[in-house]
Structure 1
Amino acid sequence: MRTPLILLFCLIAGPAMALHGQPSTPAQPHKSATRAFLNSLDDKLLPLSERSNVRDAITRDRFETVLPDIMRRNNLDMWVIIAREYNEDPVMKTMLPATWLSARRRTMLVFYDPGSGQDLERLAVAKYDIGSLFERAWDEQRFADQYAALAHLISQRDPARIGVNMSTHHGHADGLSATEWQLLNDALPERYQARLVSAEKTAIGWLETRTETEMTHYQTLTEVGHALIAHAFSRAVVTPGKTTTADVEWWLREQSAALALPNWFHPTVSFQRPSATTGNDFSGARRSGVVERGDLLHVDFGMTYLNLNSDQQQHAYILKKGESQAPGVLREALTVGNRLQDILLSHYKVGREGNQILALAREQASNEGITPMIYTHPIGFHGHAAGTTIGMWDAQDGVPVHGEYPLHPNTAYSIELNAAVEIPEWGGAVRIMLEEQAFFDGDSIEYMDGRQTALHLIGDVK
């Protein structure tokens, strides 16, 4: 347990933020309870040194169990990944040792499949030793030029298809810069230039596939995220009439940092209230400011742990004086949102394209009287990750290319959607905006740490 770090951060974060012009965290009625809560979360997480060891073990396991199948599925004999420091290839960043925070100088990673059931070769043409994950393959006494060393390595193995990370549509698979592409071609004999092909599907397959070990830790990340949201949506953080949406956002940022869980996007907190229910979607301005009793709050929050990302959206209701639960119309609205989740997940099937899943789910939801908006995306090494995209908020009729990618087993998704529910007494439609992480094993899809089925309630201090 790393209690001193958390306590120190809690003491200094608020004043430091205020000095830099950011909202300061509101006074908390139960500071000691909040500290105890953070310590309990800290106990669930690995210290940084152990995280490093686990990350490297996961990477090694993925090289041995995931990558061979992905390369063979896409008929790739060799995969060459090249990047320079501060211009990292998105795939390379998922393969380097945990203690490497970036590529160093120019880094070249080479994976070669010798066939006949043999293990993949993992080679590094680089100035620096890349630990035990790769065999160093640059004899600088023989080859002063790095690209000459790479060309010799390729000619020795004589692969029929050499994959490089170039893609018109998938940014995750387009990490080879124009300069490196030119240098590579200049270094290779013509017969090998002709064998260069896009490694697009191999890159996507590598990025989207999750392992059993990863999923154990992924569940921990989503569990901690849910706990932070629940605490943020309580009187330990929120004081009606005083606390602002920005206060809650920065509270989440501060606690994420204290737990060494970086946010991959700034948290957003907004509210809906009677006569202020329109425009509260991606195309309109978020309702922000001081929160009041009777507000329906919403949060969008994500963190990174062991190279994996979370992305969660939930709702809370601030009780009015004399209320012990949220109004029935809001509870019923959440039930509609849950039903839309159920409909979407029921259409997950191996080989089915994202656009097909989107169309089937939207049709069924509409037939059930639900007004759906579905924008579910893959998640894993990246927040908006490589893989099957199921709608976007501004593309409800299907997504070109990304929505045409088929569903594969052992992949993870951020089940993101909203249902617009008409509530006359609120002056329009209330949007129930939900997002939870789920894992698809090829037969069924399950939430990693459950989902929200009841509104968080923010009442009076007890």
Structure 2
Amino acid sequence: MSESEAAAPALPPILPARARADTENRILAERLETLLPAIMREEGIDLWVLVAREYFEEPVVASMLDAESLHARRRTILVFHDPGAGKPIERLTFSRYGGGLFTPAWDPATQPDQWQAVADLIAARDPARIAVNISELHQFADGMTVSQYDRFTAALPAPLRPRVVSAERLAIRWLETRTPGELALYPAIMRTAHAVIAEAFSRKVITPGVTTAEQVQWWYRDRLLELGLEPWFHPSVAIQRQGAKGMLQGGVVIQPGDLLWTDFGITYLRLNTDTQHLAYVLKPGETVAPAGLRQGLANTNRVQDILTRHFAVGRSGNAVLAAARAEAAAAGLDVSIYSHPIGLHGHGAGPSIGFWDNQTADPRGAAPLHANTAWSIELTSYAAVPEWGGQRVDFRAEENAFFDGTAVHYIDGRQRALTLIPSSP
């Protein structure tokens, strides 16, 4: 991890399929063996039931499938049980296929009814709290469908039904927490994304006066195909231009003097990146960007510093947003903050810190921040650029970082200078 980002980083080696699978399985085993027991006990859950159907995997179950299990098979039911007294968590699977990191607990020949087999095991364990993924607010913790819930509760003995509770906090903690093994992988994953962005914002891809914004977007997609990587959203490329209103996109040709913006993210080794960078296309004879554009990015870097200073364990996302906005306003900065957790999902589980369309408190930002979480520090500041006749310009930035509970550390640095694209070779 570093504060400074390399200007044109080399692309790290991309792992072949077998090595990727081995890495993913090693990280999954670490998460199941160390993270899961800790958060179950912190949240006071004795037994956790997860249900998915083939091609309809809910977010938590999908994160628990090993690298060879690309989908749940038929109906897959996972059960985690804490027997207490410091004993290991039982990891059980009720499925016609699989095993691996889970112990098979269902013999269809003995008990054909899958739901009844689960209910019988739960009755034998007699847990005080039975958690299922039901949440009105968080999609990550709302994976149990109505039909599955009805079948599950119908199979449970009547005295156990009042013990069923929402696993909302447990599911969020599972998805939002990054382990040491994941943290060791993340810098190279971020460096990969940064290297691809550096290629996109270069004369290798962009010929001013010829290349359109849309062509750069599709170059990203083709480049990821070449590398055997996947985007988790379609890349964005847009132009801000002196005398033009807003962001220019699509078939607009990139010209000298343009300020370019990109939003780009990949999924690799089950972890996601989400990055926004800015570049300036030099006019003939220019060697640096106009001072007003450079100051605009410096303002955004200052907002990043303000925001990350307010991270604290137990503080809500809404409280972080309010404190950061107040400090930025006092400093005379015109800002919008819309940061989010990142990790197993691009827009990850955990409390949000603002939304571009809501800069006040939001129910999705009410939960507390936890240590060992990764974040997209996503925001913008606006500034009048003197060289563009006082035009209001949007200086967007997004960099991924890790919150260790005390401080926020950028995973592979952050952009502190505009990328420069020469107007001629």
Aligned to 1:23: none
Q: Secondary structure at the match of 2:396?
A: strand
Q: What is the match of residue 146 of structure 1?
A: 114
The question of whether the paired residues in 2 share the 8 Å contact of 1:271 and 1:296 is answered with yes
Q: Percent identity?
A: 50
Q: Is the 8 A contact 2:46 2:83 kept in 1?
A: yes
Q: 27, 42, 56: which is aligned to 1:87?
A: 56
Amino acid at match of 2:218: W
1:148 Cα deviation after fit? 1.1
Residue identity opposite 1:259 in structure 2: L
TM-score by length of 2: 0.96
- Aligned residue number for residue 80 of structure 2: 111
Question: How far 1:425 moved relative to its partner?
Answer: 4.2
Computed over aligned residues only, the root mean square deviation of the Cα atoms, in angstroms, reads 1.5
* Segments ≥4 residues shifted beyond 3 Å: 285-288
Which of residues 47, 57, 81 in structure 2 aligns to 1:78? 47
Indicate the residue corresponding to 1:337 in structure 2.
300
- For the 8 Å contact 1:277–1:426, the answer to whether it is kept is no
- What CA deviation, in whole Å up to 9, does each residue of 1:415-449 have, x standing for no partner? 00000111254352111000000000111110000
Asked if 1:457 is matched to 2:420, the reply is: yes
Aligned length: 417
Task: Give secondary structure in 1 for the equivalent of 2:172.
Answer: helix
Q: What is the Cα deviation at residue 217 of structure 1?
A: 1.2
1:243–1:420 CA distance, 2 compared to 1 (3 A): same
Shift of 1:152: 1.1
Matched, 1:405 2:405: no
8 Å Cα contact 2:256/2:423 also seen in 1: no
CA contact (8 A) 2:399 2:410 kept: yes
Quick one: higher RCO (CA 8 Å, sep 6+), 1 or 2?
A: 2
User: Using the alignment, how far apart are the partners of 2:229 and 2:324 within structure 1?
Assistant: 34
Give me the whole-angstrom Cα distance separating, in 1, the residues matched to 2:70 and 2:304. Answer: 37
Q: Which moved more, 1:411-420 or 1:245-254?
A: 245-254
Unaligned runs of 5+ in 2: 1-7
Residue 11 of structure 1 is matched in structure 2 by none
Q: 2:238–2:260: 8 Å Cα contact kept in structure 1?
A: yes
1:129-169 Cα distance to aligned partner (Å, 9 max, x none) = 232x0000002222011111111111111111010000000
Alpha-carbon distance in 1 for matches of 2:320, 2:118: 43
Q: How does 1:32-51 map to 2 (within 5 A)?
A: 41=11, 44-51=13-20
Which residue type is aligned with residue 257 of structure 2? G
- 1:180 paired to 2:141: no
What is the aligned partner in structure 1 of residue 128 from structure 2? 160
Q: Distance in 2 between matches of 1:130 and 1:378?
A: 31
TM-aligned CA distance change 1:123 to 1:147, over 3 Å: same
In 1, the alpha carbon distance for the partners of 2:38 and 2:354 equals 28
Deviates more, 1:188-197 or 1:266-275: 188-197
Which of 394, 414, 424 is the equivalent residue of 2:376? 414
- Which of 404, 419, 422 aligns to 1:441? It is 404
Cα displacement (A) at 1:103: 0.8
Report the equivalent of 1:4: none
Residues 30-78 of structure 1, C-alpha deviations (whole Å, 9 max, x = no match): xxxxxxx99x63x522211111111111111111111111111111000
Query: 2: distance between equivalents of 1:225 and 1:94?
Result: 22
Instruction: Please say if residues 214 and 250 of structure 2, whose CA atoms lie closer than 8 Å, have aligned partners that are also in contact.
Output: no
- Indicate the residue corresponding to 1:197 in structure 2: 165
Quote the Cα distance in structure 1 between the aligned partners of 2:63 and 2:29: 11
**Shift of residue 219, structure 1, vs aligned partner:** 1.0
User: Are 1:128 and 2:107 counterparts?
Assistant: no
Q: Aligned-pair distance for 1:386?
A: 0.6
Gaps of 5+ in 1: 1-36
SS in 1 for 2:230: coil
Code of the residue aligned with 1:90 in structure 2: it is P
